[in-house]
Structure 1
Amino acid sequence: MRLFLSFLLMIGTSGHVFSQSSDESSIRQIYNEELARGKSYQMLEYLTTHIGARLSGSPGAAAAVEWGRHELDNFADSVFLQPVMVPHWVRGQKEVGRVINSKKRGVVEMNVCALGMSVGTGPAGVTGSIVEVKSFDELKQLGEKNVKGKIVFFNRPMDPTKFNTFEAYGGAVEQRALGPSEAAKYGAVGVIVRSMGLNQEDYPHTGGLRYTPNIAKLPAIAISTKHADLLSKILKDEKDIQFYFETHCETLPDAPSFNVVAELVGSEFPNEIIVVGGHLDSWDLAQGAHDDGAGCVQSMEVLRLFKMIGYKPKRTIRVVLFMNEENGLRGGLEYARQAELKKEKHIAALESDDGGFTPRGFTMTASEAVRSKIKGWKPLLEPYGLYDFSHEGGGADIGPLQAQGVPIIGFLPDSQRYFDYHHTQEDTIDKVSKRELELGAASMASLIYLIDKYGL
């Protein structure tokens, strides 16, 4: 009877075999090491406070590459830099945005910032009447007759009823990404976009836009959610108000940069690669602590943790600090291109790019067999709060590997606070909980351990 019970303990809920007692012990070691002697917060503190903002092409991004290479050299078998050319957009002097002729309020200053990759207005700025819309269909119905020569104000909020805040973000972000080109089709002269945040906030959220080829490039700004609501209220009271905004951003020629790549070489199957990573670049308004300094240091910790507990992986564990996720995805695309050229065999890719909050589980874009196998490890991971394995998804940087048949996995933390800080001046180290960050690093290391030991 005892032998039979022991056999049952080796079987996952989906029928996949694992060594329950041995794996429990190894995962416990990983968590003990990270929670007692972890270096993830220490690394993040240096990255955010000594280097700070790391927009692609900037001196901060270059400094972060050197920092990443130096840190990883302490606990990797090898570290190398993978060259990649990246966009080089600069914000310039601080933006200005204001209502200039309200009969009831006079001049009303608004908190705004340029959207990433926007053209600038230059010192003359842009002045115009405002047309407020909440969708592209509404804009189309207004047509050129009602839009030409005006500033389009996209004011569709993120849906607060969505429990998954990334779903709420996905329901609103097209107005930021594509709104300027949509407005240009009807002769607008500029664009204001409500910030992608759920709360009433004074500070604006930046983020990238994508101009459509052969359509005029309009200058575009984000406005804080609090001032978006105020602007909407003023418009309801006074239809003929004028708005002025001034930006000095510009796009310079592409700049040279690098992905930072580090490895622990596999002892049995060195040609089978498991990638874990985050993106090293950040927007320029703040330190990029949650987006995505947290994901970078959690990925780096995977290698350090394996070294510290004496685990020698069967397969090659590769950490990649990707460059240029925010405004081009050049790092992820180049990594996948090089992997295909070299005919590398990647058996899995895991990315952390949803913030350094309390772990909840993992998302997966993979075959049903792979999903089933990972879900079979749930009894080993659930004691550490990892219970949610139900959603599709992975990460933007590892997404290009999917075309090569690589299972894509995303670290899934609690999402409720992420969009309070996303792409804003508030994304700073003081918003990161040391313990939550460490739990995430240990969670990722535990899943990588299981993938390495049993394969997919």
Structure 2
Amino acid sequence: MRFLSRGVAAVALAAALAPAAQAQSASKIDSMAIRTLYDEALLRGQSYENLRQLTSQVGGRLSGSPEAQKAVEWGKAAMEKAGFDRVYLQEVMVPHWVRGAKEKAEAKAGSKAVKFNVCALGGSVATKGKLKAGVVEVTSWDQLAALPDNQVKGKFIFFNRPMNPTFIETGRAYGDAGDQRRRGAIEAAKRGAVGALVRSLSMAHDDYPHTGTMSYDEKVTKVPAAALSTNGADRLSQLLKANPTLTFELEMSCQQLPEVKSYNVIGELKGSKYPDEIISVGGHLDSWDLGEGAHDDGTGIVQSMEVLRLLKATGLRPERTVRAVFFMNEENGTRGGLKYAELAKAANEKHVAAMESDGGGFTPRGFGVEADPATLAKMQQWAPLFAPYHSQEIGPGHGGTDIGPLKGQVKALIGYDCDDQRYFDIHHTAADTFDKVNRRELELGGASMAALIYLISKYGL
């Protein structure tokens, strides 16, 4: 081993430690910046009050409705008031389905009648008066396929497969059971059934029916499709076991109207160093019509706007342009997300990353990332910065429905991940109201999103 003089050794040691020291210094600076974002959110956060305004002044805002247009106007005014560098609307044509009068349903066995809480699935056709038929219960596609035609034709198919409670991630359970809602009417019609009844997608046992989008096949007859509450589904199953010949009566007056012009609402903070590189953060402005659309997705909307406000209020000017996007029509068409990606590609915009909050405004846990391994690994190096806030879980996951069309145009699609164990109790129901949102959880979520956007803006991907 060659020995160095004390002075030469000191210089060599300093040189060897320089990268580590620089990294430690940068980490400390970033840690302080992130603390500033959290302090601003927890002391002066505006997400909760913005959500109060959206839910109280507008409420449910189904695509194509007057309420959806009112939400567009609210969103544009709110971002202009926040003083962002640019606020504008992006035109998009959206479906216009209306529920009509409150749905009615009851089962009859002889002279005994039992009423049920039901709601039409989004996009369903009407019953054209009272639709009466027998009921056949199934819990799997294989079970339906095995039934003889004469046991199915002219009846309601009752899809009664519950969400799998053993899945720790409730979103996985939702996706697993959701094929009944999405394809139930198609598969029922193929077998000659007159309609589809679907168990609500929830692990809660209550009397709230859950709506949600469903589909039709133009080659197959369109039959009405309705959701039963979980309590109602259990009750109908019990009644069928006691009397398989009971009849079910359903009345729905929903209607599909011509498409309507609507808008994505967009606000920007211009990047100080790389203004042509764009980071998008958003949620969907539309909601189903039964409740106020508070957790789905009012929380995502106000958190996305809060990201820009936090960066502006703390003086942490982003080096890359950050856009808050209020997407229209996530629930029944994804038209807003498709239009945003289409126009971004046509303008040859350079998108670094896109983040979406659409899992409720609950306690933050981290982020799910769709990206190549190297990009994901870079983001995971930032996890220790989030550890003090318990939102350090950064790993592979779903980015989001609205930002999905950007795949191929961005380095990473990022989904804000929060504790969603309670989410599907209220999802797509009349119970999705402002009072179900916790202020502190909501503001913590906005801060965690702003922190990650700050890091991406500073270092790129």
Q: Which of 118, 121, 126 is the matching residue for 2:124?
A: 118
8 Å CA contact retained: 2:354, 2:410? no
Q: Which of 61, 80, 83 is the matching residue for 2:91?
A: 83
Per-residue displacement from partner, 1:292-340 (whole Å, max 9, x unpaired)?
A: 0000000000111111101211110011000000000000000000011
Cα deviation for residue 6 of structure 1 reads: 8.0
Aligned-residue Cα RMSD (Å) equals 1.5
8 Å CA contact retained: 1:356, 1:413? yes
Cα deviation for residue 412 of structure 1 reads: 0.1
Quote the Cα distance in structure 2 between the aligned partners of 1:41 and 1:167. 28
Question: Which runs of structure 2 are paired with 1:282-431 in the superposition (5 Å)?
Answer: 282-431=287-436
Quick check: 1:55 aligned with 2:62?
yes
**Equivalent residue, structure 1, for 2:104:** 96
1:390 is paired with a residue whose SS is: strand
Quote the Cα distance in structure 1 between the aligned partners of 2:263 and 2:110. 49
1:297 is paired with a residue whose SS is: helix
Question: Which runs of structure 2 are paired with 1:430-449 in the superposition (5 Å)?
Answer: 430-449=435-454
Letter in 2 for 1:188: A
1:198/1:350 CA distance change after superposition, 3 Å: same
Cα deviation for residue 403 of structure 1 reads: 3.2
1:83 is paired with a residue whose SS is: strand
Q: Any gaps of 5 or more consecutive residues in structure 2?
A: 1-9
Letter in 1 for 2:89: L
Cα deviation for residue 350 of structure 1 reads: 0.2
Quote the Cα distance in structure 2 between the aligned partners of 1:5 and 1:418. 48
8 Å CA contact retained: 2:119, 2:227? yes
Quote the Cα distance in structure 2 between the aligned partners of 1:391 and 1:364. 5
**Bigger radius of gyration among the two:** 2
Question: Which runs of structure 2 are paired with 1:34-45 in the superposition (5 Å)?
Answer: 34-45=41-52
Cα deviation for residue 390 of structure 1 reads: 2.5
Quote the Cα distance in structure 1 between the aligned partners of 2:35 and 2:110. 63
**Equivalent residue, structure 1, for 2:6:** none
Point out 4+ residue stretches in structure 1 off by more than 3 angstroms: 1-11
Cα deviation for residue 21 of structure 1 reads: 1.1
8 Å CA contact retained: 2:385, 2:392? no
**Equivalent residue, structure 1, for 2:3:** none
Quote the Cα distance in structure 2 between the aligned partners of 1:171 and 1:230. 23
Count residues in correspondence: 448
1:234 is paired with a residue whose SS is: helix
8 Å CA contact retained: 1:194, 1:224? yes
Quote the Cα distance in structure 1 between the aligned partners of 2:238 and 2:279. 52
Per-residue displacement from partner, 1:252-292 (whole Å, max 9, x unpaired)?
A: 00000000011111111111000000000000001000000
Quick check: 1:237 aligned with 2:242?
yes
Cα deviation for residue 405 of structure 1 reads: 4.3
Quote the Cα distance in structure 2 between the aligned partners of 1:289 and 1:373. 33
Q: Which of 201, 204, 223 is the matching residue for 1:218?
A: 223
Quote the Cα distance in structure 1 between the aligned partners of 2:124 and 2:22. 56
8 Å CA contact retained: 2:356, 2:415? yes
Cα deviation for residue 404 of structure 1 reads: 2.6
Quote the Cα distance in structure 2 between the aligned partners of 1:164 and 1:75. 38
Identity %: 53
Question: Which runs of structure 2 are paired with 1:38-187 in the superposition (5 Å)?
Answer: 38-73=45-80, 74-102=82-110, 106-122=112-128, 124-187=129-192
Letter in 2 for 1:43: N
**Equivalent residue, structure 2, for 1:14:** none
Quote the Cα distance in structure 1 between the aligned partners of 2:52 and 2:17. 47
2:394 is paired with a residue whose SS is: coil
**Equivalent residue, structure 1, for 2:31:** 24
Please, what TM-score do these two structures have when normalized by structure 2?
0.95
Quote the Cα distance in structure 1 between the aligned partners of 2:364 and 2:390. 7
Quote the Cα distance in structure 2 between the aligned partners of 1:91 and 1:144. 31
**Which deviates more from structure 2 when the two are superposed, residues 285-294 or residues 74-83?**
74-83
Please, what TM-score do these two structures have when normalized by structure 1?
0.96
Cα deviation for residue 143 of structure 1 reads: 4.1
**Equivalent residue, structure 1, for 2:7:** none
8 Å CA contact retained: 1:9, 1:20? no
8 Å CA contact retained: 1:143, 1:186? no
Cα deviation for residue 173 of structure 1 reads: 0.3
Cα deviation for residue 7 of structure 1 reads: 5.0
**Equivalent residue, structure 2, for 1:246:** 251
